[in-house]
Structure 1
Amino acid sequence: MTHSCQMRVYYEDTDLAGIVYYANYLKFIERARSEWVRGLGVDQNRLKAEEGVVFAVRRVEADYLSPAKFDDLLTVTTRVTAVKPARLMLAQEVLRGQDRLFAAQVTIVALAESGRPTRLPAGFRRALGAGADRGVS
């Protein structure tokens, strides 16, 4: 079960050679994660206001495989690989058609207002389960 999000490469995403600047892939996968969470029915603003919990990237392992270029239509996929009490591991890919351009293993942690790790909220864990039932992970 994989969530997919499409986005276009804009001129601002590219360098002088017309290819996507390497750091922008991190922006692409961040946007896709936000859309994935929204698709699960989780309001991150409400989660912060009501439970004092936010999500943060703890670790990213990235492989740049082939360059995306100006005006490419990309698909960013997000798939849960593991759920732990306070963290979530994801596999994310950026594709142009069937071509795999970028792959990342991302570890997300739940943080309390103090900035310390905390358990993933029960509502979020339920949404993960419901998302799997709906074919969204």
Structure 2
Amino acid sequence: MAFTVRRRVRFEHCDFAGIVFYPRYFEMLNACIEDWFAERLGRSFGQIHGPDGHAVPTARIEVRFTAPSRIDDPLELTLVPLRLGRSSLDLEITVTSGGETRLVAASTLVHVNKDTGRPVAWPEGLRAAIARELEGEPGHGT
């Protein structure tokens, strides 16, 4: 199920040319993922990376930039989960403004033990919430 957040390009996101400096997009992409976990899966990154003793690092990201974004542009970041593995999750995030695609990102997250950095299976409640999202229903996990 698609999840969309809206952001406005700020001065802080732009480089000297007046367009979004590409590393700032990575921050926006991660913020979208964090919002999805908290709002749709019911598990914030603070909970996962704190009391749960786990982490959800990005293992792979591939981005295709198709058009520049400038200060004050309204952006929509739309996240779609694609595949759920034992400890991994593939996502696609499309960033648009006024119907024009600005970038498409394909990303793989891995659920790991924070102390060892080794992949561990998704906790059952979180796994079920992600699975519901893949089936087109809101996750609302724990």
Q: Could you tell me the TM-score, scaled by structure 2's length?
A: 0.88
- 1:1-137 superposed matches below 5 A: 1-39=1-39, 40-112=41-113, 113-131=115-133, 132-134=136-138
- CA drift of 1:43 comes to 2.8
Whether contact under 8 Å (2:2, 2:78) holds in the other structure is yes
- CA drift of 1:135 comes to 7.7
- CA drift of 1:44 comes to 2.8
2 CA distance for matches of 1:48 and 1:134? 23
SS in 2 for 1:126: helix
SS in 1 for 2:70: coil
- 85-94 or 111-120, which moves further after superposition? 111-120
Q: 1:21 to 1:95 in 2, by over 3 A?
A: same
Q: How many residues align?
A: 136
% identical aligned pairs: 27
Q: Could you tell me the TM-score, scaled by structure 1's length?
A: 0.91
Q: 1:134 to 1:104 in 2, by over 3 A?
A: same
Whether contact under 8 Å (1:42, 1:127) holds in the other structure is no
2 CA distance for matches of 1:12 and 1:48? 27
Residue deviations 1:57-107 (CA, integer Å, cap 9, x gap): 000011011000001110001000100001000001111021100111000
CA RMSD across the alignment: 1.7
Counterpart residue type for residue 19 of structure 2: I
2 CA distance for matches of 1:5 and 1:31? 9
* Structure 1 unpaired stretches of 5+: none
2 CA distance for matches of 1:134 and 1:45? 21
Q: Which runs of 4+ in 1 moved over 6 A?
A: none
Whether contact under 8 Å (2:131, 2:139) holds in the other structure is no
Counterpart residue type for residue 70 of structure 2: K
